[in-house]
Every structure is written in structure tokens, then in C-alpha cells.
């Protein structure tokens, strides 16, 4: 079992529950790792390999493939988990590039557009019923988000523009670089500090993770919203990092070679995303239907109509901002945390219901024969 270091304040590890023999023991905490890369971007394993490894070699309960600018492997991993009835639950995520740095969207229904304004992408994630998390903040080696961008979202008056969590436990060099600063700003803003592996190789899956009360994907989501989740990770040594990056470089070299054959030698072989062609077609059809329905709702009722009762949501956000500004600089104000927690819960309930209804409607599409 991998030994993790670090946990955030407010960790639920001290809670108790009844055991089968009637005695009282530690409550069951779930583990989630929702920042894993596949061969569809700069990872080295397919969606099927990631699921197999998480199921058989880790004690993770919830995972997500979060490729750069892509969600095909994420949907494929989720499909395989449902088809096989795995212990591990899979949600759809994406690490998208914004004009202010990388952003992690979790519980997505459709692919996010790259290189948009940060606020636009955060709003789109919440419009889809997802969670907006800052991955490896302050990193000097990747497109880590800086404090001014994080604060800009935090102070936004748009009811769809807010943070759900910061990724403070990430075992990579990118994650370690800004760990202390991330912990400080999370405490200042009253945000959960979660953990993820940012895995690009199978053997690093779960090296960073989030602990939460329960075991299901929905319980993970609720723990983020309630602020009862905590992060942890191991520390990679220099030798291990060199080996990891060496495998990534070899994979990227193969990708460049295949790109050259496709574009220079006119080879018809498509890029290998680790997803069967028939499933790619189905994914695109489902996404097309989702986007058409969302656009129709926007035209009929405006952008805020994709979530129910926008007035209630706006009121909750206003209460959160008022509590934050009345704190007079006091960090971690109880009133402030309660107000922000209420805002997040109201938003999640409404957006989650909308997202689930859209997903149910999409299932009417008949899957092509295997």
C-alpha cells in the first residue's frame, strides 16, 4: 500500500461508525484520483489499462481520466467501468488550457474549449454540473495558475464563476513547487485542498488522492461541496521522476512519428486515442445532442437557464460574498465558510439535476453494433 503524507485541516479521519460486530471503529473513507492522463494526450496508458490498474492494483474508489483538451478516453473509461460493473467508479474530467493557465473540470458532459478566458471556462464547467478545481497552482514548470487569476474568480459576481477546490497534493515536480502557497490561499479563501496523482504512467495512479466520507462518485462530489474532503500524496524521488519523464518522452516521440506518417506520407491510420472507432462515433453523437439541447435552452431562456432557479443561486452567491467581505480580513471565518458552503450546495443540487436529466435523454441514442 502506498504511504501518503500530508492532510488538510478539517480531515474527516476522526469520525466513527458502527462495525459489523457492533463495535465502534473509524468511518470508511473513500479515495479518489481524478487527475490521470491517458495516451489520448501525454499519458502512456489507454483508458482500459488505467481502469484495470485502478481496479486491481489500488484501493481507489473513484477515478477520472483528465486528458489535456480531450475527453474521449474519459468517456471510454467510464463506459468500460459501467459495462464491467467495476468496484471503481469513473467520472469524466478534462485538464483544459485557459488564458490564465490549466484548469481541471470534473463531472463533465462535453468537451471544454481551450484558450478561453478563465471565467468563461469556469462558468461552462458549472453550467455542465461539474466541479472547477485548480490543478498544481503556482507551478513554474507547467501552466500553473497564479494568485491573481485565482482571486479574480473568487471575487467574481457571476453566480457560475467560483472555485470548488484547489489541488494542493500532487506528487509531481509541478505539484510540489507551489504546495505551501496553495495551502495558504486555500485557508484564506475557505476552499477544500484536494489531492490527485497527475499520473502519466500506470504505476503512479493513486500516488496523490482525495479522502472523503463514503465510497461513491456522488459522495466524493458532495464532500468537495461540503468541505469535508482532504488531500494526501507521496513524494516522488528524483530517480523515479526521471524514469517517468523518460517514458513520456518515448511516447511523445512515437506520437510525432505517427503524425508525420499521417500528414507527410498521407498514411490513413488515425491517431490512437485508445478508444474503438464505433465508440468515438457514439460519443460525438451524444455530445452533439447535448450541445444542441443546451444551445436551445440558452436561446429560449438565456445562459442562466441551464440551471434551475437562477435567482436562488444568485442570492446564495451574494450571501457568500457578503460573508467574505464582512470578515474584516479574518481568515477562515465561520460565517464565511457556511455561506460559501450553502452556495456550493445549492449550485450543485440544481446543476447536477440538470446534467443527470440531459444524460438520461442522451441514452435514447442507439449504440452501433460492436
Distance CA(139)–CA(198), nearest Å, equals: 13
User: Are 54 and 229 within 8 A, CB to CB?
Assistant: no
- pLDDT (tens digit, 9 = 90+) per residue, 211-247? 999 999 999 999 999 999 999 999 888 888 888 889 8
Q: Is the dihedral angle over the CA atoms 357, 339, 166, 81 positive or is it negative?
A: negative
Say how many Å lie between the first and final Cα of the chain, rounded: 38
C-alpha to C-alpha distances, 304 to 127, 158, 185, 257, 353, nearest whole angstrom: 8, 10, 29, 45, 15
- pLDDT (tens digit, 9 = 90+) per residue, 176-186? 888 999 999 99
The mean predicted confidence, pLDDT, of the chain is 81
The whole-number pLDDT of residue 345 equals 55
The whole-number pLDDT of residue 2 equals 53
Query: Which residue pairs, CB below 8 angstroms and at least 24 apart, start in 147-156?
Result: 147/181, 147/185, 149/100, 149/101, 149/118, 150/185, 150/189, 152/100, 152/118, 152/119, 153/118, 153/119, 153/122, 154/189, 155/321, 156/119
The whole-number pLDDT of residue 361 equals 45
- pLDDT (tens digit, 9 = 90+) per residue, 240-294? 888 888 988 888 888 888 788 777 877 777 788 999 999 999 999 999 999 999 8
User: Are 28 and 55 within 8 A, CB to CB?
Assistant: no
- pLDDT (tens digit, 9 = 90+) per residue, 75-87? 999 999 999 999 9
Tens-binned pLDDT, residue by residue, of the chain (370 aa): 554 555 443 344 434 444 445 545 556 799 999 999 999 999 999 999 999 999 999 999 999 999 999 999 999 999 999 999 999 999 999 999 999 999 999 999 999 999 999 999 999 999 999 999 999 999 877 889 999 999 999 999 999 999 999 999 999 877 788 899 999 999 999 999 999 999 999 999 999 999 999 999 999 999 999 999 999 999 888 888 888 889 888 888 888 887 887 778 777 777 889 999 999 999 999 999 999 998 898 888 765 555 433 434 444 444 544 454 444 344 444 544 554 455 455 455 545 544 554 444 444 433 333 3
Q: Which three cell numbers stand for residue 22?
A: 457492533
Phi, psi of 138 (to 5 degrees): 70, 5
C-alpha to C-alpha distances, 17 to 23, 60, 212, 228, 230, nearest whole angstrom: 8, 20, 14, 16, 19
The whole-number pLDDT of residue 231 equals 97
Domain 27-238 has CATH 2.30.30.230: no
The residue ranges of every structural domain in the chain are 27-238
pTM of the model: 0.78
Q: What length does the chain have?
A: 370
Half-sphere exposure of 114 (CA within 13 A, CB side): 11
User: Are 177 and 139 within 8 A, CB to CB?
Assistant: yes
Percent of the chain with pLDDT over 70: 74
Cα angle, residue 307 at apex, residues 301 and 311 outer, rounded to 5°: 80
Phi, psi of 306 (to 5 degrees): -70, -10
The whole-number pLDDT of residue 239 equals 85
User: Are 317 and 159 within 8 A, CB to CB?
Assistant: yes
Amino acid at each position: 500500500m502506498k504511504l501518503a503524507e500530508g492532510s488538510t485541516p478539517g480531515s474527516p479521519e476522526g469520525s466513527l461508525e458502527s462495525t459489523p460486530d457492533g463495535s465502534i471503529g473509524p468511518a470508511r473513507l473513500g479515495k479518489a484520483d481524478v487527475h490521470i492522463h491517458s495516451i489520448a494526450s501525454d499519458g502512456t496508458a489507454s483508458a482500459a489499462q488505467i481502469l484495470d490498474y485502478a481496479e486491481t492494483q489500488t484501493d481507489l474508489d473513484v477515478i477520472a481520466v483528465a486528458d489535456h483538451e480531450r475527453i474521449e478516453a474519459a468517456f471510454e473509461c467510464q463506459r468500460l467501468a459501467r459495462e464491467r460493473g467495476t468496484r471503481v467508479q469513473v467520472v469524466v474530467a478534462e485538464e483544459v488550457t485557459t488564458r490564465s493557465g490549466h484548469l481541471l473540470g470534473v463531472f463533465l458532459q462535453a468537451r471544454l474549449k481551450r484558450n478561453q478566458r478563465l471565467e468563461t471556462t469556469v462558468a461552462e464547467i458549472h453550467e455542465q454540473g461539474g466541479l472547477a478545481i485548480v490543478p498544481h497552482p503556482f507551478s513554474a514548470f507547467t501552466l500553473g495558475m497564479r494568485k491573481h487569476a485565482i482571486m479574480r474568480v473568487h471575487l467574481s459576481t457571476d453566480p457560475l464563476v467560483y472555485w470548488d477546490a484547489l489541488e494542493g497534493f500532487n506528487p509531481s515536480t509541478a505539484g510540489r513547487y507551489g504546495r505551501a502557497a496553495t495551502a495558504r490561499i486555500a485557508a484564506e479563501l475557505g476552499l477544500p485542498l484536494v489531492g490527485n496523482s497527475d499520473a502519466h504512467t500506470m504505476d503512479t495512479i493513486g500516488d496523490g488522492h482525495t479522502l472523503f466520507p463514503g465510497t461513491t462518485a456522488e459522495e466524493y462530489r458532495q464532500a468537495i461541496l461540503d468541505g469535508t474532503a482532504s488531500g494526501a500524496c507521496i513524494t516522488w524521488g528524483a530517480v523515479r521522476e526521471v524514469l517517468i519523464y523518460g517514458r513520456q518522452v518515448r511516447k511523445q516521440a512515437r506520437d510525432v512519428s505517427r503524425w508525420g506518417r499521417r500528414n507527410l506520407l498521407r498514411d490513413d491510420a488515425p491517431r490512437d486515442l485508445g478508444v474503438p472507432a464505433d465508440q468515438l462515433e457514439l460519443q460525438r453523437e451524444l455530445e452533439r445532442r447535448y450541445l444542441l439541447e443546451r444551445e436551445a435552452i440558452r436561446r429560449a431562456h438565456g445562459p442562466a437557464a441551464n440551471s434551475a432557479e437562477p435567482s436562488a443561486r444568485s442570492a446564495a452567491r451574494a450571501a457568500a460574498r457578503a460573508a467574505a467581505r464582512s470578515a474584516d480580513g479574518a481568515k477562515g471565518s465561520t460565517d464565511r465558510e457556511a455561506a460559501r458552503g450553502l452556495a456550493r450546495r445549492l449550485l450543485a443540487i440544481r446543476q447536477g439535476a440538470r446534467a443527470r436529466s440531459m444524460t438520461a435523454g442522451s441514452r435514447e441514442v442507439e449504440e452501433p453494433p460492436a
